[in-house]
Amino acid sequence: MVELTGNSLTLQEISRVCFDGEIVTISAESMHKVAESRAAVEKIVSEKRTIYGINTGFGKFSDVMIDEQDVNDLQLNLIRSHACGVGDPFPEEVSRTMLLLRLNALIKGFSGIRPVIADRLAELLNSRIHPVIPQQGSLGASGDLAPLSHLALVLVGEGKVFYGGRVCSTKEAYKQEGLEPVVLQAKEGLALINGTQAMTAMGAINWIEANELAYQSEWIAALTMEGLEGIIDAFHPAIHEARGYPEQMAVAQRMRQLLSGSKLITRQGEKRVQDAYSLRCIPQVHGASWQALDYVKEKLEIEMNAATDNPLIFDDGETVISGGNFHGQPIAIAMDFMKIAVAELASISERRIERLVNPQLNDLPPFLSVQPGLQSGAMIMQYVAASLVSENKTLAHPASVDSIPSSANQEDHVSMGTIAARHAFSIIQNVRRVLAIECICALQAVQYRGVDKMAPQTREFYEEARKLVPSITGDRVFSEDIERVTDWLKKNDRTWTNIRDGFQVDECKPYPIIDIAL
């Protein structure tokens, strides 16, 4: 069970709620704040004070006054008119995360909703009723208006939901769960849709997946090191301490641990003096990606606990301020940063694939084929990896550098943060497939070298992976192998590491200093 306070939600808790299905509760203190904030809104309405979004129109219509008897209709009209997202729906885990994040933001007590709204969001989570939310249509400022409007539709009994393993109408799901639609009152519609929860939810799922991929990339790189008889000296702690980046040092330490006991790795001067950069610079390149992921985590965990709607209510309603916390620029830049960082994991992986298959760069069978010439082996798998890496270069173009004015130029600078988050998700899927290809090629290379010579940890990895991908004994439809390994990595259902709990440096066993002959 995860208790929400509006201030302390973590990415680990998001993983527990959105992947493991844990239920949520709302702290009593937070519900008290919600009630106080709602009382402030009702006081404003009764005093006929002019406050944006309570008794005015929205955006360019902010100067249009709304009669008191129409303030409830104003909120429902807002939700219906703004629910114009298009395209494929967000994955169900992203929709679930949006519910969680919107609830967490509203219970901070600055938004003026009634407790019934918070209760309903929690009920949707705990009943696993997840809105079907189209992915396209958000500019990432004024909040994720279109996506969150589709979320809000479900509260009023409209729209569609994921429920019971299928898509159905909200009405049908409500009937099954014994729920009644909520009738929105003053400010509640605006409070539900003015926020960054679409981009932040997508970003949180991205980070969870990217974090796992980054660890997986090290396991697979270690396998490649053995397949190419890589030089272990490049991971000597002295080199990385001399530069000083903690993330680089951590990657080097994990690589040393993974390769501990291997008889396939070499020392400098045994077979060659230096390895190519894609092997020698694994700590430097992967470490830099870890730096970016650490930055992204920090920004996400701030945003996950932020009040991002407008206006915000302070001092029991005496201070109501229209600001811009809905502007997604912090997450937009973080998602663009993530795109580059994760794309680089595939970029260097593809270069390792080339070294595994290119007979001019190794002493393995050409393209790992059992009958070179008659059979092509892994030749076209490298093509696929190159294609995915090239596609990532296009997707990695920063979305946050773009802006198009909207609402008759009232909203004249926007973040495009949701586009950045969606593109980051696409990059992650591509990277996983590139790593799957490297894994398949590395498995074949170490088999050629001698599985009995592998390090204990990589040998365990090898045995697990071979349950999915048999040895290449002849040409076959390798697409199926790639997808099986990709699914394996995504599901994380293996025993050779527990990535979701973290594989941190301080958990690594001490590794002896390598005696490098200078």
Phi/psi at 279 (5° precision): -100, -50
Q: For residues 436 and 220, what is the distance between their CA atoms, to the nearest angstrom?
A: 9
Q: Is 67 helix (H, G, I), strand (E, B) or coil?
A: coil
Q: For residues 133 and 124, what is the distance between their CA atoms, to the nearest angstrom?
A: 14
Q: Which amino acid type is present at position 270?
A: E
- Report whether 303 contacts 272 (CB < 8 A): no
Closest CA to 99 of 43, 212, 23: 23
Q: Which pair of tokens denotes residue 54?
A: 């309570």
Degrees to nearest 5, angle at CA 413 with 408 and 414: 105
- Report whether 446 contacts 438 (CB < 8 A): no
Q: For residues 450 and 463, what is the distance between their CA atoms, to the nearest angstrom?
A: 13
- Report whether 341 contacts 288 (CB < 8 A): yes
CA distance from start to end of the chain: 56
Give the distance from CA 85 to its chain's centroid: 21
Q: For residues 244 and 89, what is the distance between their CA atoms, to the nearest angstrom?
A: 44
Rounded to 10 degrees, what is the CA torsion of 80, 82, 88, 91? -90
Largest CA distance in the chain: 85
Helix axis angle, 92-106 to 145-155, nearest 10°: 80
Q: For residues 194 and 222, what is the distance between their CA atoms, to the nearest angstrom?
A: 46
- Report whether 336 contacts 343 (CB < 8 A): no
Q: Is 83 helix (H, G, I), strand (E, B) or coil?
A: coil
Q: Give the DSSP per-residue string, 366-422.
A: GGG-SSBTTB-TTHHHHHHHHHHHHHHHHHTS-GGG----BTTTTB-----HHHHHH
Number of residues assigned to the chain: 518
For the question of residue 52 being annotated catalytic, the response is: yes
Q: Give me the active site residues, please.
A: 52
